[in-house]
Amino acid sequence: MKPSEANTLSTPSAPSTKLSPKGRQTQRLDKVLTHLGYGSRSDIKKKVKQGAITVNGIRTKDSGMQVHPHDDEIVIDGEQINYREFIYLMLHKPPGVVSATEDNRDQTVLDLLKREHLVFEPFPVGRLDKDTEGLLILTNDGQLSHSLLSPKRHVPKTYEATVSGDVTEQDIEKFAKGVVLDDGYETLPGELTILRKEHQDEEVISYISLIIHEGKFHQVKRMFQAVGKKVIYLKRVQMGQLTLDPLLPIGEYRELTEDELQRLGK
């Protein structure tokens, strides 16, 4: 063996995944790095030829070698990778942006993400109306999405709204029983709180908070229509036990903290 090869690791080609000695799944090196956004498989192959990738301190000669992304120390261009399978983002969705992965006419919430997060192929958990702002979770964890959206779970969602009209104690009582929407559907009970009121040009403007336990199409707006009022501003501030970070600017996002993930049951 040549001296230059003494510190080089080479592994024969193998299937894309197999079980490690610990019983957990290993993956191809190029697959791991591609998943994390370090380039295409051909890019990773070039990096290997340049000697820019080490596994457990040893330069590798095979971009297809099997590694355990959680246990092995993988370094590319001097940067140690932080492998993760799932990503969890909190977005302060702005109005005018649609809660979808793609749209032919409007900007989507994915258009607000950086490439380093887009490589995980996240999707919005549920949706907010185009003109509604506030808390939106984006993830590639289908299990979490299902647990938050399952009709059987009745995960509470808290909204703050500005309503044209005088919201009264009678409205609170009606919401507490459930209201009948324009299509005949009777909603589950909602918890309506009047925060304050003000008069503008002989019109009463009500500022309210509302907790609902389902997510019908335009539900908050339609609930107020059912009692003769109109929502003119709507913001979601909480979903389950997760609250929108008050310091997160509109249109910005960040990854969830460990504490926040625990609140979501992760």
- Residues belonging to the active site: 129
* DSSP symbol at 187: P
Beta carbons of 66 and 18 less than 8 angstroms apart: yes
Question: What are 17's strand-pairing partners?
Answer: 27
Beta carbons of 75 and 33 less than 8 angstroms apart: no
Which H helix or E strand runs over 172? Answer: helix 169-177
Question: In whole angstroms, how far apart are CA 44 and each of 36, 68, 117, 130, 231?
Answer: 12, 17, 19, 39, 52
The Cα–Cα gap between 94 and 98 comes to 9
